[in-house]
Amino acid sequence: MDKKGALIIISGFSGAGKGTLVKRLISDYDRFALSISMTTRAPREGEVNGREYFFVTKEEFEKTIAEDGLLEHACYVGNYYGTPRAYVEEQMAAGKDVILEIEVQGAVQIKAKFPEAILIFVTPPSVAELERRLRGRGTETEEKIQGRLTRAKEEVEFIPDYDFILVNDELEECIKDAVNLIDAAKSEPERSGELMSSLRRDLGVG
Ligand code: 5GP
């Protein structure tokens, strides 16, 4: 059945483990496709253009906005990030559930444009655990860690705009929970427009 896929937004505090969660959803389930964002930030060591991001100049980014080539975009820590429209639309049309791993301002834009999008906010079970994970990376300065916690204070205010909070305590559980949430959300009548229309049509109630 060629049914249109869903649009799934995954956001979360830095240190929540959302990157690992998204990678596993993509590798474990054929039904998901991952949107690759465009950004003006410089590639980090090991990042490949077209794999982690499409790395572009500010001019290229602004040109893409002017051409309406992005579904949403936001400025985060001084750099632009945005979701290229074409890939998402193609994959959804092909029946894939497309995952956007984006920050909160972009998520709010998507919800305004696509009310049927499924918004999931990933968090560790507590702030103590968040701090433990940020420190446990061992690669961050205290200043950077404090910066991430300050950002978490801003981001927590956006959580009520999301459809679900997903606690990432144990990764395997979290992956299963994510899939269950997505399936449940897709079965809600307001997200089942095509099925509702065909039921109404076939019952002759317009
Ligand atoms: P990083 O620079 O660490 O890869 O990403 C910084 C933040 O930007 C993360 O919260 C990430 O989810 C977010 N982000 C990545 N791509 C996009 C995008 O296309 N749009 C928006 N709004 N945020 C993005």
Q: What is the pLDDT of residues 73-132, one digit of tens each?
A: 999 989 999 999 999 999 999 999 999 999 999 999 999 999 999 999 999 999 999 999
Neighbours of 22 (CB within 10 A): 21
Q: Do residues 77 and 150 lie in contact, with contact meaning Cβ atoms separated by under 8 Å?
A: no
The pLDDT value given to residue 6: 96
Ligand 1 atom having least distance to the Cα of 41: 2
In terms of DSSP bridges, do strands 32-34 and 97-101 run parallel, antiparallel, or are they unpaired? Answer: parallel
Q: Do residues 36 and 71 lie in contact, with contact meaning Cβ atoms separated by under 8 Å?
A: no
The pLDDT value given to residue 140: 81
15 CB under 6 A from ligand 1?
no
d(CA 9, CA 181): 12
Neighbours of 38 (CB within 10 A): 20
d(CA 70, CA 100): 12
Q: How far apart are the first and last CA of the chain?
A: 22
Taking the whole predicted model, whether its pTM rises above 0.85 is answered as yes
d(CA 100, CA 111): 12
The pLDDT value given to residue 12: 97
The pLDDT value given to residue 138: 81
The pLDDT value given to residue 133: 93
Domains defined along the chain, listed by start: 7-35+97-202 (3.40.50.300)
d(CA 87, CA 93): 10
The pLDDT value given to residue 111: 97
pLDDT value at 1 more than 60: no
Measuring from atom 7 of ligand 1, which residue has the nearest CA? 103
Per-residue pLDDT band at 206 (split at 50, 70, 90): confident
Per-residue pLDDT band at 194 (split at 50, 70, 90): confident
d(CA 188, CA 25): 22
The pLDDT value given to residue 139: 78
Q: What is the pLDDT of residues 30-78, one digit of tens each?
A: 999 999 999 999 999 999 999 999 999 999 999 999 999 999 999 998 9
Write the single-letter amino acid at 130.
L
Mutate to test the pocket of ligand 1, among 72, 102, 162 (most ligand atoms within 8 A of CB): 102
Q: Token digits for 204?
A: 């002759």
The pLDDT value given to residue 2: 58
Q: What is the pLDDT of residues 136-170, one digit of tens each?
A: 878 789 998 999 999 999 999 999 999 999 999 99
CA 191 to centroid of ligand 1, rounded, Å: 26
Write the single-letter amino acid at 38.
M
Ligand 1 atom having least distance to the Cα of 79: 2
